[in-house]
Each structure stands twice: as C-alpha cells, then as structure tokens.
Structure 1
Amino acid sequence: VAVEFDTLYNEEWDAKVPHIGIDVNSIRSIKTTPWDLKNGKDAIARIVYIAETKTLTVELCYYSEAKIHTLEVVVDVKEVLPEWVRIG
C-alpha cells in the first residue's frame, strides 16, 4: 500500500495532471484526485487509516490556502499486507 504525490506523467498508468494516488500491490493507483501543485510553497499532508472502517484517507493543503485536497479509499490492509511491515 502506498500513497503517491505524483508530479511526473507516465502514459501507461498515470493521470495526466499532478495528482495524489493510493496504490495497492501495483504502481497503478486504485484511486486518484487532482492536486494543484504549487512549486516552492510549503504544504502539509495527513495520512490516516481507520481499522474499524478500513478507510485510508489522505489530505494535503498548503499553508497559504484553505483548500484541502482529499482522497479516501476502503482497503483491508490485513488482506493486502504481510503480517510485518515497515511504515515510512
């Protein structure tokens, strides 16, 4: 399982715009949302997994703006990850 903040377009599997994506056992995202890339601007990202609902949520916002880019997907990590994993 991976969260990507993707700025480089690859026609084989990527959305044509900078985007946030969630990948599960593939480099092709199962869900994406466009991301208004602001070169040189500081941003904050939050990634949350809620086990009870199996919901993975990604949020990204720039300090200078109120808009929040949000992506949410249901993924059962017990089904797609091994027993031991590294997070980072």
Structure 2
Amino acid sequence: MEHVLERASILCNGSRIERKDLPVQIREANLPTVGDTRGTSHEESPWVSRSVESFEKELIEQTLQKLDWNRTRTAETLGFTRRTLFNKMKKYNITPIPK
C-alpha cells in the first residue's frame, strides 16, 4: 500500500491523490477513497479524519471481502506481496469470516 500511495503521489496533478491516480486494480475495485465526500459535507465524511492505518485496515478488509477472501488476488490488487498482506492482517487482527 505504501508503494501504491508513493506512486500515486508522484503521478497526481496537485496536492491530492485522486482515484484516477491509483492503479487500475484498485480503481475498478470501487472502494471509497480518503476524502471521498460524495453526498456529504467534510464534517460528515467518514474518511476525512481517519489515520492511515485505519484507512489501510479498512481497504484491506473491503478488498478481501470483494475478492471472496482470496489473499493472493487481494495482495496483487493492493500492490503487496502475500507475506506483507499476511503481516498486515495479523497486525490489524483481520481474520477470515467463516462461510
């Protein structure tokens, strides 16, 4: 995720990373982005005051759910190695939901 954000910050036009600045796999995942305030004011937006770790945890969880907990595809989509994804899942206490 760190590498994805670094790349996006280099490619973005201006001081804000937009959805268009992210890799196609993340853009097509249709996940919310930091500062996504569509339909709300900044004060009401759940993404405005979030820490990077909170945002990262949420992004990992949503991507895992969207990809039916396929950790290989999730890691690829987020630009992680599988080992990094497993370490982040452990750090954030993310466990698969039983089917």
Q: Which of the five TM-score ranges fits, normalised by the shorter chain?
A: under 0.3
Relative to its length, the structure with more helix (as a share) is 2
Relative to its length, the structure with more strand (as a share) is 1
Q: TM-score, normalised by structure 2?
A: 0.26
Q: TM-score, normalised by structure 1?
A: 0.28
